[in-house]
Amino acid sequence: MAYQKLMDMKYNTIIFDLDGTLLYTLEDIADSTNYALRKCGFPERSLKEINSFIGNGTNHLIAKAVPANTSKDQLEECIQVYRDHYFLNSANKTAPFDGILDMLGQLRNENYKLAVVSNKFDQAVKDLCKKYFSNYLKIAIGESPLIQRKPAPDTVFAAMKELGSNKEECIYVGDSEVDVKTAHNAGIPCIGVSWGFRGASLLEKEGANYIINSPNEIFQVLENLSK
């Protein structure tokens, strides 16, 4: 498989997507989505459908989940019901993917600077990262009115600023087409992970610089980049 060649430079900063990259969150997202749909009198969606809606933030998720003729007021109500439910139920079935904690621990021990940026709403991102990853990273940025969401590069640039890094030192890691576009828009390499919401073939098609099939494979990529 041919990948775009990367410049020979030193990378010391890794910025991760959250859902589908570090955490398996699909079932909790689906449960809250269907709870909101039920409460608002709409038909529920399958896990497969909800999986296809994820990646562009809460508003987009619910806008895709509700019927096509839903009014703006009904949509806003459903979004709020989702947020309220998910805020209390975001960790019922959620867990790090196998190998993620070991990977983050090794990266920390090797003095990489680490952060998370996500299109999930900001408080949920911060809460989940505090719950699962507080020993490995402190910077977690989610969707908010204060910053443009991915694939705009703004959250990535904000993470770089907090970490004291420049883009020549940074790599982005994610699982979706939104993540690849985010990395490209930020002008940094993208490592795609095949275990997430979209799979390797889509990541390759979208132009991920590297694709890994397990968390520990990131170290081979980093070794190649440091040569």
Domain containing 197 — which CATH number?
Answer: 3.40.50.1000
My answer on whether 76 and 119 are in the same domain is: no
pLDDT at 9 over 70: no
- Provide the residue type at 86 as one letter: Y
My answer on whether 166 and 79 are in the same domain is: no
My answer on whether 104 and 203 are in the same domain is: yes
Among the listed residues 14, 6, 181, the one whose alpha carbon sits nearest the alpha carbon of residue 110: 14
Q: Which pLDDT value is given to residue 226? A: 76
4: in domain: no
Q: Which pLDDT value is given to residue 2? A: 34
Segment 57-71 shows an average pLDDT of 96
Band the pLDDT of 6: cuts 50, 70, 90: very low
How many residues are there in the chain? Answer: 227
Number of domains present in the structure of the chain: 2
156: in domain: yes
Last residue of a domain, one of 47, 65, 89: 89
76: in domain: yes
My answer on whether 72 and 20 are in the same domain is: no
- Please, are residues 181 and 19 in contact by the beta-carbon 8 Å criterion? no
7: in domain: no
My answer on whether 104 and 122 are in the same domain is: yes
Q: Which pLDDT value is given to residue 5? A: 39
My answer on whether 109 and 209 are in the same domain is: yes
Among the listed residues 177, 56, 65, 59, the one whose alpha carbon sits nearest the alpha carbon of residue 118: 56
My answer on whether 105 and 33 are in the same domain is: no
My answer on whether 46 and 123 are in the same domain is: no
Q: What CATH number corresponds to the domain at position 75? A: 1.10.150.240
129: in domain: yes
pTM: 0.92
pLDDT in tens, 153-209: 999 999 999 999 999 999 999 999 999 999 999 999 999 999 999 999 999 999 999
6: in domain: no
pLDDT at 74 over 70: yes
Last residue of a domain, one of 89, 104, 130: 89
2: in domain: no
My answer on whether 217 and 120 are in the same domain is: yes
My answer on whether 124 and 50 are in the same domain is: no
Beta bridge partners of 115: 15, 139
201: which 2 tokens?
Answer: 């073939």
My answer on whether 176 and 80 are in the same domain is: no
Domain that holds residue 125: 13-24+95-225
Last residue of a domain, one of 38, 62, 89: 89
Segment 63-83 shows an average pLDDT of 97
My answer on whether 102 and 198 are in the same domain is: yes
8: in domain: no
Beta strand extents in the chain (DSSP E only): 13-16, 23-24, 95-96, 113-121, 139-143, 170-174, 190-193, 210-212
5: which 2 tokens?
Answer: 């060649």
